[in-house]
Amino acid sequence: PEFLWPYRNPSLSWESLKEQFYQDMEEYYIDINNKKIYRWDSVTHYSDTTLMTWVDYDTFTPVWGFYARDKNYLYYNGKKTNFDLSLHPRLLGQFIIDDRNVYTEDGVLLTGADPKSFQNIVDTNTNMGSSYYKDMTNVYIPWWTLLSWVDLESFEVIGMYAKDKNHVYIFDNIIQWVDPITFKLFDDSSSYAKDKDNIFIGSRIITWADMETFEIIDMNKAKDKNHVYDNGKIVE
């Protein structure tokens, strides 16, 4: 059979498709001669494909991530899901929202989440999206889901960190011995941050760093009057 890219580009040969398939990790092959859809098993090898006998060929299309759909079903990794297409399921980052509920990316119901107010939290440092999401009552992150203890009104994302009036966070972990009011990044591209008393990389305090002369070299490197640091460790 002649397998083509899901967008049905007739200029692609089998060899070019195989190469592109490896690079982009798409999940499906389309046999346009016999009007059949195959799922690619990305865990084993590109040639390990399974015929999807239940799909509607004419309306089948990949949509996002490991999801695809036809006129009847939404599919995840080639398998039918229970999403009701009449409720307009759609992807928001690593969550799925329909008209009634919010789900994790693999389709697990996020109990209590409000789909109308659910949104990605913008990183105030870069003005871009972040790994944190919120609705009217809670903050969420993929994989660990609900952060019920944060102060929603004062919560903000800054680079790899987030903070509210009480704590500074990396994902769902509270960083100890940090003042959230004075906590800030050194710059947009750095892994280093500081508060009024200490310098941090990730959740670690660099206890030997000199606050007055500490400056950034690049994302992971920094220096003060005494040392050069790489990922927080002294290298010179």
pLDDT digits (tens, 9 = 90+) for 143-163: 878 898 999 999 999 988 999
Instruction: Tell me what the mean pLDDT of segment 53-69 comes to.
Output: 83
Q: Taking all residues of the chain, what is their mean pLDDT, rounded to a whole number?
A: 84
For position 3, what pLDDT does the model report? Answer: 46
| Percentage with pLDDT > 70 across the chain | 85
Is residue 13 scored above 60 in pLDDT? no
For position 29, what pLDDT does the model report? Answer: 73
pTM: 0.79
Beta strands in 44-198 (DSSP E): 49-51, 61-64, 67-69, 74-76, 79-80, 90-92, 95-97, 102-104, 119-120, 133-134, 139-141, 145-147, 156-158, 161-163, 168-170, 173-174, 184-185, 192-194
Single out the residue of 163, 142, 141, 168 nearest to residue 152, CA to CA. 163
CA distance 103 to 180: 31
SS3 state at 14 = helix
Instruction: Tell me what the mean pLDDT of segment 110-136 comes to.
Output: 94
Least confident of 16-30, 38-52, 123-137, 216-230: 16-30
Between 34 and 104, the higher pLDDT residue? 104
Q: How confident is the model at residue 205 (pLDDT cuts 50, 70, 90)?
A: very high
Instruction: Tell me what the mean pLDDT of segment 1-5 comes to.
Output: 44
SS3 state at 91 = strand
Is residue 47 scored above 70 in pLDDT? no
For position 20, what pLDDT does the model report? Answer: 44
**CA-CA distances (angstroms) from residue 106 to 29, 138, 185, 202?**
21, 20, 33, 28
Between 224 and 76, the higher pLDDT residue? 224
pLDDT digits (tens, 9 = 90+) for 218-235: 888 999 999 999 999 999
